[in-house]
Structure 1
Amino acid sequence: MRRILTWLGTAGAALVVLGLGVTPMGCYLSRAAYEEARILARRQPIQTLVVRDRTDPALRAKLQLVLAARQFAIDSLHLDAGESFTAFSPLDRDTLVLVLSAAYRDRLEPKSWWFPVVGRFPYKGFFDFAEARRTAEALQGEGFDVTMGPSAAFSTLGWFNDPLVSTTVKADSVTLVNTVLHELLHTTFFAKGQVSFNESFATFVGGRGAEQFFRARGDSALLRRAQRDWQDDRLLGAFWERTAREIDGVFAALPDRAIAERIAARDTVYARARRRLVDSVAPQLTGYPAGWAERVPLNNAVLLARRVYAERLDRFDSVYAASGGHLRDAIARVIRTHRDSVRTAAK
């Protein structure tokens, strides 16, 4: 599964880290600021790398694809790219950042973390992998469901000109284009405090945008792959949505104080969901390895973390259909509708 982190600490780090001193948040932001500075210091202009003779041919092809996807985002989708993805930063590790999510076992509620400037988020990214594992173990010891996995890319929401990093460029062509468009949607529009909306909207733009990109290039093979990927996203989005409704249903039927009974009831739901995933959903998936459905953990943390990126993808597709399959118009309509709803709620 693609995991793309909207990086939380970096934006506020330069503003508040000195004030926070040696507090845990101050240490966390210091590390984030340090790692961001290292990434920015290694930037090399992509255009320069493309024309340089000693650039590896495989890397050159990926860089050219990124530039093409970026230009497509600007010209065809009217996304605000700024200077993002005009530079490349090679990293000295295979994993960019580990993303940790946690949830209460007896209710479908995520643990959240507060960050300066940007507020609360239901996940936390770690450049310090040992600290990520220690935090995960501590949360498990406190009784939380926990899930953790790598992210190959992140967005600073326009605070910095996000470069392409070597962990991102390793992806296949469809995933790479999807990632570029996903991130540039974040740069263009980000609703503060609405993580699931933001990430699911970006999932939609990345998925449908990759389809349109390869269709415009006349690449039928990669177009079919992009279409299959989007179908996978929608199928799994519907699976997570149905499972969440069923979990909510058993929790609603039991009193809050009946913790053991609530956990046992939700485990029964997860057992049924596993069979549905293995028997009905997995046979329809094309981009997941054999045995994935049997291995993927099912708990509240996994469920909520997956839904962040796939909540009601059908509603975005309905706007896409109403826009005649014109993604640029669908994006504009979603943004306009969201802004109108915020203004109405504020009155």
Structure 2
Amino acid sequence: MIRRPAHAREQLTAALRRQGRLPWRLLRRLTGAGTVLAALALGLTPMGCYLSRAAYEEARILARRQPIQRLVVRDNTDPALRAKLALVLEARQFAIDSLHLKAGESFTTFSPLDRDTLVLVVSAAYRDRLARKTWWFPVVGRFPYKGFFDFAEAARTAGQLRAEGFDVVVGPSSAFSTLGWFNDPLVSTTVKADSVTLVNTVLHELLHTTFFAKGQVSFNESFATFVGGRGAEHFFRARGDSALLSRARDDWHDDRLLGAFWERTANEIDSVFAARRDSARDARIAARDTVYARARVRLVDSVGPQLRTYPAGWVRRVPLDNAVLMSRRVYAERLDRFDSVYAAAGGDIRLAIQRVIAMHRDSVASARR
């Protein structure tokens, strides 16, 4: 499940004003000069243009917000939309009460969009080694993907990366989190999902709002995958909905099964690259392509028959290269590790979340000593 990111927030400061030491005329001049310089930076640098577009699109989304509670009780709300919005409010409250996630005002509003796709996400990887192309963003650090509201720019970026010799994958995202910087609304592209996916998405994104380890995207996304998957099971069990509980279990089963497939394939590719560290680039790529051919057979013959929620033929159609492998692993890295904490917690999802966060913080503190 791909969900992902916007990296823009207004930078406001009142430090000079609080000091009270500068005449207002001078302060206005300094502020004006800063504004001009910031505008020039935003307009003249690629990152500035990217952030400006992200900020503009975020502003449009926020401007269209309508309170979900009001839409649920309004007579002229489409019945199908009303049911989905009510489900979101229920899932949000479950996240707060049962999982102790921090929701703020996220998912209390709804923003209709005028398009079917929220953002296009571009990911890239080096072809001759298991390493991702990353992009640096102010404050939040490096990310192995980049979300584009400008779809033409996404296509240009993907084309440029392929020309530079990268494996590239481009895919749509129906939701994203601003990591608690804004009160994220529910958008119409997210509402189109089935009920299990919708609940999973709400829990996934609220985990990001609750805890986000800077610069550790795979951990963050895989942790959120676990919370969304296992959390959806608990939600529908508490709701007494056996049919959707079964679907949530099937979703998590497939997440873990494919996570193990991507993990094994990554280890095999990494071993091939390690064994051919001094080989020419073309030889390294040819060797990894042989591994991917074997992985395809395993995916079709062994993994495919066990999948419960994927459409027939998916295992034959999904591309296999470094970009696909690493982008998939971002959301499914060592899911068994999170499940082991869950099992040790006696199947208590709230306690498992607390323990994972505590263990991560302890490991970071130990690394700093």
Contact 2:42–2:51 (CA<8 Å) still a contact in 1?
no
For 1:11, the equivalent position in structure 2 comes to: 9
CA distance 1:90–1:101, change in 2 (3 Å): same
Compared CA separation, residues 233 and 154, structure 1 to 2 (3 A): same
Whether 1:318 and 2:317 are equivalent positions in the alignment is no
- Asked if 2 retains the 8 angstrom alpha-carbon contact of 1:85 and 1:164, the reply is yes
**RMSD across aligned positions (CA):** 1.3
Q: TM-score, normalised by structure 1?
A: 0.97
1:48 lines up with 2:70 in the alignment: yes
The SS at the match of 1:246 is helix
Alpha carbons of 1:12 and 1:133: their partners in 2 closer, same or farther (altered >3 Å)?
farther
Give distance in 2, aligned partners of 1:256 and 1:14.
Answer: 51
The answer (yes or no) to whether the contact 1:13–1:32 under 8 Å persists in 2 is: no
State the 1:20 CA deviation: 3.8
Q: d(CA) in 2 for partners of 1:101 and 1:193?
A: 16
| 1:268 positional shift | 0.2
Q: CA deviation at 1:46?
A: 0.3
Q: 1:285 is matched with which residue?
A: 307
8 Å CA contact retained: 2:262, 2:325: yes
> Which has more radius of gyration?
2
| Structure 2 gaps, min length 5 | 14-36
2:284 paired residue number: 262
Indicate if the aligned counterparts of 1:13 and 1:30 stay in contact, CA closer than 8 A: no
Q: Could you tell me the percent identity over the aligned residues? A: 80
From 229, 235, 249, the counterpart of 2:251? 229
Provide the residue aligned with 1:189 in structure 2. Answer: 211
Partners of 1:156 and 1:162 within 8 A in 2:
yes
Equivalent of 1:335 in 342, 357, 361: 357
Moved over 4 A (4+): 12-17
Q: Map Cα deviations across residues 267-293 of structure 1 (whole Å, 9 max, x no partner).
A: 000000000001110111111111101
Structure-2 change in CA distance of 1:282 and 1:53 (3 Å)? same
- Call closer, same or farther: CA 1:13–1:140 in 2, change over 3 Å: farther
1:161-310 matches, cutoff 5 A: 161-310=183-332
- Between the aligned partners of 1:328 and 1:42, the Cα distance in structure 2 is 33
Q: 2:176 matched to 1:154? A: yes
Cα deviation, residue 343, structure 1: 1.1
Retained in 2: the 8 A contact 1:277–1:293?
A: yes
Matches within 5 A, 1:50-89: 50-89=72-111
Deviation readout 1:112-142 (Å, 9 max, x if unpaired)? 0011111111000000000000110111111
| Structure 1 residues 17 and 35, CA gap change in structure 2 (3 angstroms) | farther
Q: Does 1:137 find its partner at 2:136? A: no
2:46 matched to which residue of 1? 24
> How many equivalent pairs are there?
345
Per the alignment, in what secondary structure is the counterpart of residue 8 of structure 2?
Answer: helix
CA-to-aligned-CA distance 1:245-280 (integer Å, 9 cap, x gap) = 000000000134511110000000000000000111
Change (3 A) 1:277 1:11: farther
